[in-house]
Amino acid sequence: MAGDYSVVYLPRNMLDDVGEMEEIDLNIQDALRSFYDDSMFLEKLGAMAVSIAEDDQLYVPEQLLRLLDRHDHHRELKRRIANYFNGGTTLEDTAEFVLKNENIQPVALEQCEPVFQDFFLKLSERAKDQSRLCKAVMFYGVAMALYEWKDRQRGGVPYDRELHGPICFSIHPRK
pLDDT digits (tens, 9 = 90+) for 33-86: 899 999 999 999 999 998 888 777 778 889 899 999 998 989 999 989 988 998
- Give kind and range of the element (H or E) at residue 26: helix 12-32
The pLDDT of residue 130 is: 92
> Are 85 and 91 in contact, with CB atoms under 8 Å apart?
yes
Q: How far is Cα 68 from Cα 77, in angstroms, rounded to an integer?
A: 7
Q: Quick check: 91 pLDDT over 80?
A: yes
CA distance 166 to 3: 59
Is residue 144 within 8 Å of 60, Cβ to Cβ?
Answer: yes
> Which tens digit of pLDDT belongs to each residue from 101-110?
999 998 788 8
SS3 content of the chain, % helix, strand, coil (to 5): 65, 0, 35
| pLDDT score of 110 | 86
Assign 168 a pLDDT band (cuts: 50, 70, 90).
low
Q: Say how far apart CA 46 and CA 50 lie, in whole Å.
A: 6
